[in-house]
Amino acid sequence: MHEIEEDPLFLRVKSRDTVLVGEDEICKVLSFVGGARDPLAPTLFQVANVDTGEIKFVHGEEVREIVSTYEQEVQQRIEYPTEGPITNILPTVENHEKKIGKKKLSRN
């Protein structure tokens, strides 16, 4: 009997996914470069370290795990919004007064 060979993990990684690189580096995938044999198969990833902001290229084999896909992140933001309505953050006089903690701005 032949064992079914599973595709390598890095073939499932897409742009904007969050991945574990190496032992303890969490990175956001910015883009990828395809291979010579198959231009659609990612072999190099341009990633940004979420802790340090460092941007670098890593080989696909260095990706150990997909921590979160972009689709999962979007769904989570829809289900559990962290901010209130957009009207609470728009640059209005009232919101500025709340931000700086003053009662009213004088209008001359």
Burial classification of residue 59, based on how many CB atoms lie within 10 Å of its CB (0-12 exposed, 13-18 middle, 19 or more buried): exposed
pTM of the model: 0.65
pLDDT in tens, the chain (108 residues): 556 668 888 889 999 999 999 999 999 999 988 888 888 888 899 999 999 999 999 999 999 999 999 898 888 888 877 665 555 555 556 655 666 665 554 555
Can you give the pLDDT at residue 105? Answer: 47
| Amino acid identity at 85 | P
The position carrying tokens 């992140």 is: 73
